[in-house]
Structure 1
Amino acid sequence: MAASVRVLRSALTSAGSFKSTYLPSAKCFTAQSQNERWFSQTARFFAQPVSQKKTFVRSKPHMNIGTIGHVDHGKTTLTAAITKVLSVDKNAIFKKYEEIDNAPEEKSRGITINAACIEYQTENRHYGHVDCPGHADYIKNMITGTAQMDGAILVVAATDGTMPQTREHLLLAKQIGITKLVVFINKADAADEEMLELVEMEVRELLSEFGFDGDETPVITGSALSTIEGKSPEIGANKVKELLDAVDSYLPTPERDLDKPFNMSIEGTYSILGRGTVVSGRLERGVLKKGDECEIVGYDKKIKSTVTGIEMFHQTLGKSEAGDQLGALIRGVKRHDVRRGMCLCKPNTVNMHNKIEAQVYLLTKDEGGRSKPFTNYFQTQIFSRTWDCPSFMLLDQGKDMMMPGEDGKVVFNLFKKMALEKGQRFTLRASGVTLGFGVISDVLADYDPAEMDKKVRQKDK
């Protein structure tokens, strides 16, 4: 036993800092991705006769949660286990592992690439559950997944303990404003009591390190695989029920901003011949109704349209409220004119800009950032909501550089005009590494890209 504990402790210690992560490969954007199949199903839904469509009944508060954690720690298996337990009382449709991880490249590699969304409900709430990819290659899709969450279930394998993507997922969850989460220590059937206690202790320390309540956060130990196989209910189905009770009681019901004009960051698109284009995403604020006029804004574009249909989990909606994961059918817009990262909003309520002032924190090397200083005109990729865009950093007047570990005011000149507003959070990445995080403190007058090119060329001479 002592040897196994030393092995685990070694694994935990070696995972104390991030390894380099990579931007997604082109494979995760193929036509066979989960998102494409979801949009294909949505297209078939909108094409159905009205008499065949089910209507979504809003009888409970809706909340978006998800499974986060390192690759192969059992996030997708736990998602499947939750649906199996809840399906007994008809509160979910059982989704097998293969139905959640169903893209060809996911099957071949045994990992989740895209963030898949599953529907279920408990006695207290209706949930949209996002199963986030844990593999480092697909961090861009992970950012999109966490951007849709109100709360999270952190999955940690008892056989490994905390690992690099455990830390990065906690960072991203904190960055988007998640204040509370629940922990599921998985694969309890493959570890003894001493190891389970050690892993829980390490997890609680890590939660405290990232600003979560390491003492009070519920930690449930069980086996998702045992749940699916119908074995050992004391670590299987009973523990999943305990997890769901903790999610219901510990994660606060989010307050929804229903009074402001509607705004939704677009996560994906699909075209329906003769009907229009479907855009999907999470409605961030306001109320969206069928027949509403709308604008699609971002990447230097502003397109006017009308919402002709709304669906949520393949059920029709007359209106959608902030927090809903929805698909909206829009009239007279071609798919190639709309892209992930644009926003669907009430006309004349969102303006595009390409220059912001922000308060940023730059990660140290030990936190997964870079070791070199940041200088004026450093090029970085900004990730916010569902969009990403390259930009130049301009340091505060009088500063020649910022070191990793510093925080301060920085101006960013974006390559495209995007939907930007005060208080908006973002993540900075470059060369496959997460560099830091920021919050927009002011939206500035647009800059002239041609003038910026001159300054950059002068600097490089």
Structure 2
Amino acid sequence: MIVTLAGHVDHGKTAIVRALTGVDTDRLEEEKRRGLTIDLGFAYTDLDGARVGFVDVPGHHRFIHNMVAGVGRRQYALLVVAADDGVMPQTREHLQILQLMGLREGVVAVNKVDRVDPERVAEVEREVHALAQASFLEGAAAVPVSCMDGRGIDALRDELAGAARRHAVERADRGFRLAVDRAFSVRGAGAVVTGTVVAGTASVGDPLVVAGTDRPVRVRGLHVQDAASETAYEGDRTAMNLTGVDVDDVARGDWIVAPGAAGRTHHAVVEFDVLPDFPRALRHWAPVHAYAATSHAQGRIGLLSGDPIPPGGTGAVDVVLDRALPLKVGDRLIARDQDLGRTIGGGRVLDVAAVHGRRRAPGRLERVKALRQQDPGDALSALARLDVVEAEGFRRDWNLTDGALARLTAGDQFALGRGLVIHRDLLEETREAVRTALSEHHRTQRESAGLPREAIANALHAPRATVDFAIASLAETGDIRAHSGNFALASHVAEIPAALATLFDRVSPSLDTLQPPSLGDIAKSLGRPFPQLEREMRALAAIGLCEQVGPNRFYLKERLRELAAVATDLDARGAFTVRDFRDASGVGRNVVIEVLEHFDRKRFTRRTGDLRRVVGEFDSVFD
């Protein structure tokens, strides 16, 4: 268990750690000279067989950024209040920050009781209980202590030992992430970083990366709670000896993460709580200092609702950062006012996707509402009811392992395909809507071969990706068929006007070859004006009776299939050229170029330089 201390400057946090562990956590010369904690300090001890670490944080308001760097969501809080001073400004601010960071449990030490009478101790205890109302410390014990004469230290130690026994190690299926608070070099070992494991596990020998640079590193050795260990778990204070990086290349604010947990963002949607004692409402585009674990960036806050958020209020905001941070959904972010030097508030990160379109667009607000679910399975279910979800993006944003994502999507409530996830309710609703739209189109446009994707999506007023997924699903089940980019119900047969049917009977013998004549030659042979024949041939192609390959060339689909088979045979031996295809098919070079470029456009083949490879299936590409 890791205990983070909090409290006003000079209330005795460092002295309490020393009384509990025998360790002086003030390690800097300036700290010893001034008698003032400036940076984070660490100490460890065993309490009833449980290893407990202490993070001593500075109490002075000028060093709040260092205090924030020492707080982790899985830690246990020890709030220190001096009996002579009582509750002071940084007492209040530190408790507020602990609350914003998501801490769940803690204890209060009323220190320096040797300086006051029992009535004053009781008065301060009442102040503390009033302060703790509606916070995670409501109902927590307030233990009177004195570091001078040792009063209450054993009682405080017992309280912490009990908490350590209750403390459960959470081993969720998340990618490993460690927020670096120190980096130094050890002779004979190399670079060592220390920090709190924010998520996941790492073991000796594991490959990791430095987030942002993606520099690969490997774990040479581990110390957890100041003792050698093979594995570090979420919440652990960890010292990590790394290979593959110099100590000059990593510093406080960096993150050591699993390869699948890398990635940074300039944007974060946060469920933001404005502190009750902040002196003004939070307005749109307010400049802030943003803190997440040991990382810091400047930025601005964009309100997702139109109204300012008053003190004590809550709302979803878009935090736009001047430099990218490796944030994930569920992280905690603290914002301080750039002008006043005060903590505005903070909260849980809901989304780390970049903003596309209007900040307050209804679709985006619906997404934010879905992401208020704290369980990834619930969030995925809510998101997949709105639109298809890109599975890898969801895994990355939520810092899930591949196995965790597979378990989330294994249930009957989701349909999967092409790396996408959709809720079956939304899929069935959209499938039915597509069928209805096509049925209505066939009723009113009997001669039409169908509707293109764009027209279907516009008719449904639905996200294009959702419509595409439903169309693919309907095609797989045989409910609809497609040709030349148009989709129709499988039962639909376009009514071919008599004039077009007669024309097709006349022109099809000319097309029934691997090298049909140009449209101009066909027009001459039929004695038909070229512009008129061009319109009629395009109408035949739209119905699906032929395929337009080039501006002046049309094929019967059966003959294109034969040429596709030639390409497939060539591809079985490797990439092929225009000349290879010409020789294998017996078709002239100019026509071959038209055919192959058509194959490229339809994504049946892919060209790289002078070479081509087959990348699609004919029946799925040539609908």
Q: TM-score, normalised by structure 2?
A: 0.54
Instruction: Decide which of 1, 4, 7 is 1:69's aligned counterpart.
Output: 7
1:265 pairs with 2:179 = yes
Residues 1:193 and 1:110: Cα distance change in structure 2 (over 3 Å): same
* Alignment partners' CA distance in 2, 1:256 and 1:211: 19
Residues 51, 225 of structure 2: 8 Å contact kept: no
| Aligned match of 1:137 | 62
Residues 77, 225 of structure 1: 8 Å contact kept: no
Residues 73, 102 of structure 2: 8 Å contact kept: no
Residues 1:313 and 1:207: Cα distance change in structure 2 (over 3 Å): closer
* Alignment partners' CA distance in 1, 2:312 and 2:143: 34
Instruction: Decide which of 238, 245, 268 is 2:158's aligned counterpart.
Output: 245
1:119 pairs with 2:44 = yes
* Alignment partners' CA distance in 1, 2:220 and 2:167: 30
1:222-272 CA distances to partner (integer Å, 9 max, x unpaired)? 211112xxxxxxxx2xx2111121223357413412543322111121235
* Alignment partners' CA distance in 1, 2:307 and 2:140: 42
Residues 256, 285 of structure 1: 8 Å contact kept: no
Question: How many Å apart are 1:305 and its aligned residue?
Answer: 1.5
Question: How many Å apart are 1:313 and its aligned residue?
Answer: 5.2
Instruction: Decide which of 124, 129, 132 is 1:204's aligned counterpart.
Output: 129
* Alignment partners' CA distance in 2, 1:286 and 1:372: 37
The number of aligned residues is 354
| More helix by percentage | 2
Matches within 5 A, 1:165-184: 165-184=90-109
1:295 pairs with 2:209 = yes
1:409 pairs with 2:323 = no
Residues 328, 349 of structure 2: 8 Å contact kept: yes
* Alignment partners' CA distance in 1, 2:228 and 2:356: 43
| Aligned match of 1:152 | 77
* Alignment partners' CA distance in 1, 2:86 and 2:308: 37
| Aligned match of 1:441 | 350
1:114-166 CA distances to partner (integer Å, 9 max, x unpaired)? 12111101115210111221111211111112237611221111111111111
Q: Secondary structure at the match of 2:42?
A: strand
Matches within 5 A, 1:361-376: 361-364=273-276, 367=277, 369-371=278-280, 373-376=282-285
Residues 72, 103 of structure 2: 8 Å contact kept: no
Residues 1:373 and 1:148: Cα distance change in structure 2 (over 3 Å): closer
Q: Secondary structure at the match of 1:73?
A: coil
Residues 162, 203 of structure 1: 8 Å contact kept: yes
Unaligned runs of 5+ in 1: 1-62, 84-93, 228-235, 449-461
* Alignment partners' CA distance in 1, 2:300 and 2:119: 50
Q: TM-score, normalised by structure 1?
A: 0.71
| Aligned match of 1:4 | none
| Aligned match of 2:272 | 360
Residues 1:348 and 1:259: Cα distance change in structure 2 (over 3 Å): closer
Matches within 5 A, 1:311-390: 311-312=223-224, 315-364=227-276, 367=277, 369-371=278-280, 373-376=282-285, 378-390=286-298
1:391 pairs with 2:305 = no
Q: Secondary structure at the match of 1:202?
A: helix
Q: Secondary structure at the match of 1:223?
A: coil
Question: How many Å apart are 1:372 and its aligned residue?
Answer: 5.7
1:103 pairs with 2:16 = no
* Alignment partners' CA distance in 2, 1:314 and 1:424: 25
Residues 422, 440 of structure 1: 8 Å contact kept: yes
Question: How many Å apart are 1:403 and its aligned residue?
Answer: 4.0
* Alignment partners' CA distance in 1, 2:97 and 2:134: 14
Residues 353, 446 of structure 1: 8 Å contact kept: no
Q: Which has the larger radius of gyration?
A: 2
Residues 1:387 and 1:73: Cα distance change in structure 2 (over 3 Å): same
Residues 214, 262 of structure 2: 8 Å contact kept: no
Instruction: Decide which of 225, 228, 232 is 2:148's aligned counterpart.
Output: 225
* Alignment partners' CA distance in 1, 2:175 and 2:320: 27
* Alignment partners' CA distance in 1, 2:118 and 2:188: 60
1:62-107 CA distances to partner (integer Å, 9 max, x unpaired)? x001322111111111111112xxxxxxxxxx32xxx322322112
Question: How many Å apart are 1:167 and its aligned residue?
Answer: 0.5
Residues 68, 166 of structure 1: 8 Å contact kept: yes
| Aligned match of 1:80 | 18
Q: Which amino acid aligns with 2:315?
A: G
Residues 281, 308 of structure 2: 8 Å contact kept: no
Residues 1:424 and 1:438: Cα distance change in structure 2 (over 3 Å): same
Question: How many Å apart are 1:296 and its aligned residue?
Answer: 0.9
Residues 354, 447 of structure 1: 8 Å contact kept: no
Q: Which amino acid aligns with 1:295?
A: V
Residues 177, 198 of structure 2: 8 Å contact kept: yes
| More strand by percentage | 1
| Aligned match of 1:6 | none
